[in-house]
Amino acid sequence: MTQNSAIHGPKIALFEPDIPQNTAAIIRTCACLGAKLEIIEPCGFLLDDKRFKRVVMDYMDKKNIRFYQSHEHFFKSKKNQRIVLMTTKASISYTKFKFDKKDTILFGRESAGVPNKIHKLIKDRLKIPMKNNKRSLNVASSVAIILAESLKQINLI
C-alpha cells in the first residue's frame, strides 16, 4: 500500500512511555500510516538506547514527532482541541466512537497507564474490548488498532 506522505489525520500521543521497543514500533506504525506522533516526557529510556534503535531502524523522522516537556505543556498546547484517551478503565468501545481528523489520541504508559489527574482532564475515554480476565493489550498493538480505525473512519485508508 502506498500513501501520500502528508500528515493530515489524527495524532497519536504517548504519555511518558517507558519501553523503548514499544515506542519504536509505534514510530514505525505512525510513519507507515502517515500519522504524527507526540511524546509527553519524561520517557523511561533514551532515544539512543540500542533496544530502541534496533526496532525503529530508519523510520525515525523527528519532523513528524513532537516532544512535550511535561503533560502541562501538552495540555496547554491542546487547549481547544479534542483529546481522546485510550484506557482499560473506559466504558465506551472505540467501535462506538466517531473519530475526527483533528483528534489527538492519547495512550498511557505501558507500566501504569495515565494518572487519575489526567483521566479527569479528558472527556472522551475509550477502550478496546477484550476477553474476560485479560488485563491489557500491548500499547503498540493498541495504537495500530486505533490508528487504523480512525483513519478508516475519516477515509484516509
Three cell numbers written together for 47: 532515544
Q: Which of 79, 18, 23, 89 is nearest to 52 (CA)?
A: 23
What's the mean per-residue pLDDT of the chain?
A: 89
Alpha-helical runs (H) found in the chain: 20-33, 50-56, 71-77, 116-121, 139-153
Closest CA to 144 of 30, 56, 68, 65: 30
Kindly list the domain boundaries of the chain, sorted by start residue. 11-153
What pLDDT, in 10s, does the model give residues 12-30?
999 999 998 899 899 999 9
Which range of 23-27, 45-49, 101-105 scores highest in mean pLDDT? It is: 101-105
State whether residue 38 is helix, strand or coil. strand
Side chain identity, residue 124: D
Return the CATH architecture of domain 11-153.
3-Layer(aba) Sandwich (3.40)
| pTM reported for the whole predicted model | 0.90
CA distance 101 to 141: 21
CB 118 within 8 A of CB 85: yes
Dist. CA 23–CA 17, nearest whole Å: 7
pLDDT tens-digit series, residues 59-90: 677 778 899 999 999 999 999 999 999 999 99
